[in-house]
């Protein structure tokens, strides 16, 4: 049985917690929050032990009617591995300040930099490379989508060159106050965007260049992928 802690119970952490809770060979030790918001209530409703990040007010959670099992430090003591779903950049600080010092293994979300974590991972493409690693970064949703699509093409016909234009939603669905309004914004304004180099952290041999723009929607991202293959491709090949 693997004891799993979730540090950060937001858009990503709540999905990971649900997945861990459904596994026969895993135990969800608990989830960590900084504020007693609606997500903390959801965790309590599902019966997930609720821990409070150091520096946050335990009293504010209890005043909101939420039972607190302890601090994040207490949670980590009970875990074999932590999934860090904290905001971008916080995970890298946690790695240096907490996880390495306590000896706990950790998995990070794609907002962290590859260089800070040391290994990037996509189950479909490079599963074997993550075996034995103490710290692994699961790449972002856009990088994951590109890796899955291009890996299938590479297996079928070989990739000679890839050029991608990503049309990205301005924000996640709940972030209605964020993002461009009635505008299309290059993000970044240079080529390549971070997505191509990020794909290369998983599959370093691919010749891939990406650019991206933000558009005023929170619904989805769209990938426009142009691939030059090494071998003829047909419907039978696929």
Residues belonging to the active site: 141
Burial (CB count <10 Å: 0-12, 13-18, 19+), residue 41: middle
Distance separating alpha carbons of residues 168 and 219, to the nearest angstrom: 9
Q: Which two structure tokens, joined as six digits, stand for 223?
A: 């990938």
Place of tokens 């074999």: 80
CB contact at 8 A, 37 and 60 = no
Distance separating alpha carbons of residues 51 and 125, to the nearest angstrom: 34
Sheet holding 50-52, edge to edge: 70-71, 50-52, 26-33, 2-7, 81-84, 105-108, 135-138, 120-121
């Amino acid at each position: 049985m693997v004891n799993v802690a979730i540090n950060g119970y937001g858009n990503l952490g709540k999905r990971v917690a649900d997945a861990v809770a459904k596994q026969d060979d895993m135990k969800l030790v608990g989830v960590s929050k900084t504020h007693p918001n609606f997500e903390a209530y959801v965790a309590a409703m599902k019966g997930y032990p609720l821990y409070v990040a150091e520096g946050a007010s335990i009293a504010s959670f209890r005043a909101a009617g939420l039972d607190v099992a302890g601090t994040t430090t207490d949670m980590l003591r009970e875990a074999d591995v932590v999934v860090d779903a904290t905001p971008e950049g916080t995970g890298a600080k946690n790695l240096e300040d907490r996880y390495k010092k306590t000896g706990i293994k950790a998995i990070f979300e794609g907002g962290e930099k590859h260089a800070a974590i040391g290994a990037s991972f996509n189950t479909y493409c490079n599963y074997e490379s993550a075996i034995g690693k103490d710290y692994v970064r699961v790449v972002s949703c856009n990088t994951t989508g590109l890796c899955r699509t291009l890996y299938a093409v590479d297996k079928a016909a070989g990739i000679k060159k890839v050029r991608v234009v990503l049309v990205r939603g301005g924000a996640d669905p709940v972030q209605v106050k964020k993002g461009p309004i009635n505008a299309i914004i290059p993000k970044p304004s240079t080529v390549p965007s971070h997505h191509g180099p990020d794909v290369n952290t998983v599959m370093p041999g691919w010749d891939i260049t990406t650019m991206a723009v933000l558009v005023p929607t929170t619904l989805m991202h769209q990938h426009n992928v142009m691939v030059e293959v090494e071998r003829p491709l047909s419907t039978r090949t696929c």
